[in-house]
Structure 1
């Protein structure tokens, strides 16, 4: 099923309606677009004839669009929307929403979709077929980022529970590290389609979740999928030890100490590299890589 684009402006949907959606995490969106249950959507914030970014995402909870009864309209303050009583709405389940700080800003959207022009101001509709692969990748990245925030919160709860039982600090660190590392590996396998980002190796027992900035050095990003690479074991070992790294376009850089060794090929590139990962890789090149 294709990802759907929903558009938001304060004129089309007053902020008071959005506030209820943000609190309830489910509700209705004025749209006559044909949708299916569990179909995904990206919610765009629009300004004049351009877009300000994606402010929310989620999925539809019912097939099709329909008119609402009085109770539904009153519960979600939809009477503030023009012609609400005679309009059709789709029922949505929000995963995350933030109108003040877009989850994906205009620059990041251009990185995914190229020059957008009026892409996000053409009404709520299924995203153009040509854009669907990028829309799927973007949706998955948003979903994984949402998951890692939740996992980080759960790890903190586990750590606090162990601390309350007077478990030694070293053991607490080992427990949270193992749980977090296993979770992050699952996300990377999903995000990178079960393939090494360099060699395209697909044998699961040979793939390692490789942190860019080490777990112990950046607590805020220890579960951030953009601070990790999915690498075959030989690339992971050399990357972890600082014998290889990657430049801003993903091209592998090899230390002179291991050049032409361990099956590492010059000219290889990382797949699926984004701006946030580039920032972490800059740290790796400057602080960890052994020239």
Structure 2
């Protein structure tokens, strides 16, 4: 799971519910959680959401949630370390020893409200956050810190209008024996928004037509990654085999995991998409990709797995 969550030497991402400790976080620039809680009988209980604090490394990004909003983004300035409970924490059931992370805070100009992201987050990222953030009512679970996948973090950074500031870090964080040429880095960054060489190559491969519908107006075609840019390595981010050329509504359905494709290019439709909507979108008219390569299939399996499409 650590490899899946991005702890391969690169930047990792977390969500922390700071609650009533927000002033302490803002004035002291640190986060703290106990190692365990103590019962009246002396029994010790460890919690996954506390243990996440000990895993934070310098440079990791932490979304700080307070009063139904993400109000700040914290960057860890050093690896987590063992520290005694702050004097301001008086909860008797907590042990005296815990883990602390020193951070640099950045206050968001426009906080991200829980209700504005709940639906998207639950459908796209909830099952891959450790532990789960939201409950069935769309409220935040009573946990301290959750680990996020890079795509969930990118979604939140986009909502905060900060993705451009972090995309270079996402590119440069990948362990590599070779230094990226500036032209390659530029191509990787542009590929995130379906531009540059990635788009040009997809236009060539698909003859400037939508991979599913055949729409041939270039101004309407979107260069879409099969395996999400944020989950891909740098080679995969600019690999045309990891892309489809899609009409806007098909791109949206594919990006949201409401459709996918099988190994033969056959259209798969999520049970989350209502029959009426399927009919309005005329999905019965387009049942198969115009072609699919062996390399496409490898990426498509990752897309199906990510969005919960079961093998036939």
TM-score (norm 1): 0.40
TM-score (norm 2): 0.38
Between structures 1 and 2, the one with greater helix share: 1
